[in-house]
């Protein structure tokens, strides 16, 4: 599987919303990572590693795709310790970390239960797993290629609580705040997603993005907090699917 075709890469033409979403999740994570030992799993092209490194006591990161890690090394040099690994078998000793991040990738893991077991092994008491994921419970949700299973609020709570974690979930980017054209096109998107008419790659989606969002801008190689006017995500009710936000955040604390 070539994840480079579906990963946000530096220099890609993207919407301003994509940059805001990427910046927001790392700003949110930064509050948990301050002065902690942190691991980002499935770091992709490493857009948020600079932000994490400024907050954390130590930062390590890795990805399944070596080609992506090569891109990260070209930008960061020796600033970040990188390793290639599978999220189901993470090559670090027990109790090595205080925080583990998995952003926009939980749906690519064949056995998420095995990933959670790895988090239990790697985290110190009271450590946290931070998840960010597209919200599968929206009626116009469009799954990514290579995905296995998406987790909404209810599924994330069940997954982590069954493995000894306490869970808080949050919502980001309210659908009601989208542009008029984006809201109007939601039924069209739902139809296209149902019948697999939406392009699967980042490049294939570029024309649609221009139509919906207007002028596109280059994705920066490294995000900074100054790129967004950050506001905290909205706490969500436990045990209830959310249908108001595009993105779901989960903070699972090891009991």
pLDDT tens sequence across 185-197: 899 888 888 888 8
Longest dimension (CA), the chain: 50
Residues in CB range of 231: below 8 A, 6 or more apart: none
> What separation in angstroms does the CA of 89 have from each of 6, 42, 119, 202?
23, 12, 10, 28
Domain covering 3-254, topology: Rossmann fold (3.40.50)
Is the pLDDT score of 207 beyond 80? no
What does the mean pLDDT of the chain come to?
Answer: 95
Q: Residue 233 has what DSSP assignment?
A: P
**Given pLDDT bands bounded at 50, 70 and 90, which one contains residue 6?**
very high
Q: Percent of the chain at pLDDT above 90?
A: 85
Q: Are 133 and 104 in contact (CB under 8 A)?
A: yes
Q: Are 6 and 200 in contact (CB under 8 A)?
A: yes
pLDDT, average across residues 82-96: 98
Is the pLDDT score of 211 beyond 80? no
Q: Are strands 81-84 and 97-103 parallel, antiparallel or unpaired?
A: unpaired
């Amino acid at each position: 599987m070539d994840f480079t075709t579906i990963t946000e890469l530096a220099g890609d033409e993207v919407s301003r919303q994509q940059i805001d979403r990427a910046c927001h999740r790392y700003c949110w994570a930064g509050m948990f990572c301050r002065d902690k030992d942190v691991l980002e799993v499935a770091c992709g092209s490493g857009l948020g590693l600079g932000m994490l490194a400024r907050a954390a006591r130590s930062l390590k990161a890795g990805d399944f795709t070596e080609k992506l890690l090569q891109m990260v090394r070209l930008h960061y040099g020796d600033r970040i310790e990188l390793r290639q690994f599978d999220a189901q078998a993470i090559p670090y000793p027990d109790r090595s970390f205080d925080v583990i991040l998995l952003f926009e990738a939980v749906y690519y893991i064949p056995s998420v239960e095995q990933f959670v077991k790895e988090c239990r092994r790697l985290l110190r008491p009271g450590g946290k797993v931070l998840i960010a994921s597209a919200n599968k419970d929206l009626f116009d949700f469009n799954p990514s290629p290579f995905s296995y299973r998406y987790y909404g609020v209810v599924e994330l709570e069940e997954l982590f609580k069954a493995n000894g974690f306490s869970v808080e979930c949050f919502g980001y980017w309210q659908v009601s705040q989208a542009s008029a054209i984006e809201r109007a096109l939601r039924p069209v998107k739902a139809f296209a997603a149902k019948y697999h008419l939406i392009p699967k790659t980042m490049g294939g989606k570029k024309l649609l993005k221009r139509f919906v969002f207007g002028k596109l801008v280059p994705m920066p190689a490294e995000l900074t907090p100054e790129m967004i006017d950050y506001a905290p995500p909205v706490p969500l009710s436990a045990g209830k699917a959310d249908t108001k936000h595009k993105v779901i955040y989960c903070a699972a604390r090891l009991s």
